[in-house]
């Protein structure tokens, strides 16, 4: 009996220790620091020692710094979330009477400045553009990111702001986390954009964490499930239940879904699951052969522009 108790205590200690470590990693994964001198690296860019250090001590993420600014005249817009986080956006009006407006929403670790090439093309097509920094990114406040869950409110704020400026057609464009936030925001806040353009959205938050585990050669299961759970506990929501694919059936407006074959973050089955689940009768999936989990516009500009212009006609 004493032996069984000793074994039980050992297993309990290992369980508590491992979950403490995983909760620590979840915290590091969602918290950013003010450190303009620090350069964030993707796991696939790291050498063996850097990956080992990240596994042992967690990833250190600095808030993304806005280095690029619009060439066209623009207005800086300030919004505020329900919990008081200040957000910054850019309103860039079309050079001629606008056909409508496009809201551009970046991915995890990025910022609005990185989406200026996409915005430039939308303006060439005759659209106003509004680019937003999500919380903990760029020039917006806060240091905690929820990978799309709380950011859905920020989609709503951007939508309301643009609607207050113009009654014309409105398109939501999002990349990765931005696309996931759109999928949640549209049904949850009863938004009525005319069209959606979604690039590389993940199917579930757990899937997004699995991609991180794969990139450092750790077993995705059960690590991703536990990190997702603890990340939600730390931020006050049920993170395993954040599944953008579950919002897809509620999407009724036309949707253009884009994905790159070289994407190591979002798997093909995730993309096809979302596409099949979309409730819209007007939906199109475009696969880009040489694009990965980054700007498809920069990687395959001609094919991307053809897909965008054809969808917006």
- Tens of pLDDT along the chain (313 residues) come to 577 778 877 877 888 888 999 999 999 999 998 876 677 777 777 787 777 777 777 788 999 999 999 999 999 999 999 999 999 999 999 998 999 999 999 999 999 999 999 999 999 999 999 999 999 999 999 999 999 999 999 999 999 999 999 989 999 999 999 999 999 999 999 999 999 999 999 999 999 999 989 988 889 999 999 999 999 999 999 999 999 999 999 999 999 999 999 999 999 999 999 999 999 999 999 999 999 999 999 999 999 999 999 999 9
Torsion, Cα 205 208 209 215, to 10 degrees, reads 180
Distance CA 169, CA 90 (A): 18
Residue 86 has what pLDDT? 99
Domains of the chain, start order: 63-204+242-312 (3.40.50.1820)
- Token pair recorded at residue 165: 């400026």
Distance CA 178, CA 228 (A): 18
Residue 168 has what pLDDT? 94
In this structure, are residues 40 and 108 in contact, taking their beta carbons and an 8 Å threshold?
Answer: no
Residue 5 has what pLDDT? 78
Of 297, 231, 265, residue with least CA distance to 42: 265
**CA 127, 251, 247 angle in degrees (round to 5)?**
120
Residue 238 has what pLDDT? 98
Continuous H helices in 83-202: 116-124, 151-165, 177-188
């Amino acid at each position: 009996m004493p032996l069984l108790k000793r074994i039980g205590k050992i297993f309990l200690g290992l369980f508590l220790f491992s979950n403490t470590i995983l909760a620590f990693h979840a915290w590091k994964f969602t918290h950013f620091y003010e450190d303009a001198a620090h350069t964030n690296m993707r796991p696939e860019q790291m050498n063996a020692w850097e990956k080992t250090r990240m596994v042992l001590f967690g990833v250190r993420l600095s808030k993304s710094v806005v280095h690029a600014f619009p060439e066209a005249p623009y207005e800086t817009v300030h919004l505020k979330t329900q919990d008081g986080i200040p957000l910054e956006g850019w309103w860039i009006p079309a050079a001629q009477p606008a056909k409508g407006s496009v809201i551009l929403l970046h991915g995890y670790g990025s910022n609005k400045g990185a989406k200026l090439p996409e915005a430039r093309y939308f303006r060439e097509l005759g659209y106003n553009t509004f680019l937003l920094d999500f919380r903990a990114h760029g020039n917006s406040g806060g240091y905690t990111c929820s990978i799309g869950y709380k950011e859905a409110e920020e989609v709503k704020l951007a939508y309301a702001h643009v609607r207050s400026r113009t009654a014309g057609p409105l398109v939501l464009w999002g990349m990765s986390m931005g696309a996931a936030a759109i999928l949640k925001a549209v049904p949850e806040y009863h938004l009525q954009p005319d069209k959606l353009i979604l690039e590389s959205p993940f199917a579930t938050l757990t899937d997004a964490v699995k991609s991180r585990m794969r990139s450092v050669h750790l077993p995705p299961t059960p690590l991703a499930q536990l990190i997702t759970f603890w990340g939600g506990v730390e931020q006050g929501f049920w993170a395993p239940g954040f599944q953008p694919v579950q919002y897809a059936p509620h999407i009724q407006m036309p949707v253009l879904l884009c994905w790159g074959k070289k994407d190591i973050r979002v798997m093909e089955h995730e993309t096809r699951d979302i596409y099949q689940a979309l409730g819209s009768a007007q939906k199109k999936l475009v696969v880009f052969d040489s694009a990965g989990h980054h700007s498809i516009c920069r990687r395959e500009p001609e094919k991307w522009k053809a897909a965008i212009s054809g969808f917006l006609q």
